[in-house]
């Protein structure tokens, strides 16, 4: 397993500035959260690629800026809106292709939308197939208040889509939903390709790794049971830490735990 970090940690700093700050701090695996439409252009992607190349870094995943409106755009029963949404999603896939990121992350559908669970899952397959035309794999992240927070939805994805059902396991979102992390990992199973990692305590569901009560050794062993050997991306909110150096120390602590497994 490899420990990296997300530009989302430094939001609302401009994405390219956050990327550079993390590069200068010594990170060489950095997930990029695109925050707006102008950051999903070929020109912006080329800029990120040059920056990564200058530091010998890699971008394992792009997070789509469409996350807050994916259900409205992409899981719609209005065909023209869906077509427009597909164009916007394909721009993110194109950006991932340019920077060399194998994954694009989305939050997906919300409960209460116009599509049944089966229709929602099959609609997701359309997006997955679109990504593969650019050699990019779409990942669904478990997120509170989305259908991806429901274990039954994840299980139905795996049943209907087979190997196309691939996931980001987000630890803080599992805690936020009140679901034991190992249950989410078991539901996603061998479909886990990427992990967002954080820590928590009795009062807070997202704090710096190593500063809370999380049993990382047990969590990582559970991931290994399903064959996971990918990136553990530190993803917090800007209010959860003071200095970038704290992210560097969190990486060291996670690497120590990984080395002791």
Q: How many CB atoms lie within 10 A of CB 91?
A: 20
Predicted structure pTM score: 0.97
Instruction: Give the mean pLDDT of the chain.
Output: 97
| Confidence tier at 68 by pLDDT (50, 70, 90) | confident
Looking at residue 7, its pLDDT comes to: 98
Residue owning tokens 């794999």: 137
End-to-end alpha carbon distance in the chain: 11
CA–CA separation, 46 vs 70, rounded Å?
A: 25
- Reported as a pLDDT band with limits 50, 70 and 90, residue 22 is very high
| Per-residue pLDDT tens over the stretch 118-138 | 999 999 999 999 999 999 999
Please compute, for residue 53, the number of CA atoms within 13 A of its CA located in the half-sphere on the CB side: 9
Q: State pLDDT tens for residues 156-210.
A: 999 999 999 999 999 999 999 999 999 999 999 999 999 999 999 999 999 999 9
**CA proximity to 143, closest of 197, 106, 103:** 106
Mean pLDDT of 222-245: 97
Over range 102-115, report the average pLDDT.
97
- At residue 189, the pLDDT reads 98
Q: Domains of the chain, with CATH numbers?
A: 2-260 (3.20.20.150)
- Which 3-state string (H, E, C) describes the chain? CEEEEEHHHHCCCCHHHHHHHHHHCCCCEEEEECCCHHHCCHHHHHHHHHHHHHHCCECCEEECHHHHCHHHHHCCCCHHHHHHHHHHHHHHHHHHHHHCCCEEEECCCCCCCCCCHHHHHHHHHHHHHHHHCCCCEEEEECCCCCHHHCHHHHHHHHHHHHHHCCEEEEHHHHHHCCCCHHHHHHHHHHHEEEEEECECCCCCCCECCCCCCCCHHHHHHHHHHCCCCCEEEECCCHHHCCCHHHHHHHHHHHHHHHHHC
């Amino acid at each position: 397993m490899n420990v990296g970090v997300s530009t989302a940690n430094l939001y609302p700093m401009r994405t390219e500035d956050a990327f550079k700050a993390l590069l200068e701090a010594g990170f060489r695996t950095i997930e990029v959260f695109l925050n707006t439409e102008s950051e999903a252009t070929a020109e912006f992607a080329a800029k990120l690629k040059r920056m990564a190349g200058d530091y010998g870094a890699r971008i394992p995943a792009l997070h789509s800026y469409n996350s807050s409106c994916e259900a409205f755009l992409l899981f719609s029963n209005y065909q023209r809106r869906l077509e427009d949404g597909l164009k916007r999603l394909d721009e993110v896939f194109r950006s991932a292709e340019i920077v060399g990121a194998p994954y694009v992350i989305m939050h997906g559908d919300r409960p209460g939308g116009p599509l049944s669970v089966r229709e929602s899952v099959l609609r997701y397959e359309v997006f997955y197939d679109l990504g593969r035309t650019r050699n990019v794999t779409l990942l669904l992240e478990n997120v509170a208040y989305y259908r991806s927070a429901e274990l039954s939805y994840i299980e139905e994805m795996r049943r209907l889509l087979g190997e196309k059902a691939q996931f980001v396991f987000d630890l803080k979102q599992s805690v936020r939903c009140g679901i034991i992390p190992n249950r989410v990992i078991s539901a996603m199973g061998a479909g886990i390709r990427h992990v967002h990692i954080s820590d928590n305590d009795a009062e807070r569901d997202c704090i710096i790794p190593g500063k809370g009560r999380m049993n990382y050794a047990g969590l990582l062993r559970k991931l290994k049971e399903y064959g996971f050997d990918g990136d553990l991306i530190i993803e917090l909110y800007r209010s959860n830490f003071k200095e970038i150096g704290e992210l560097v120390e969190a990486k060291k602590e996670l690497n120590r735990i990984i080395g002791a497994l």
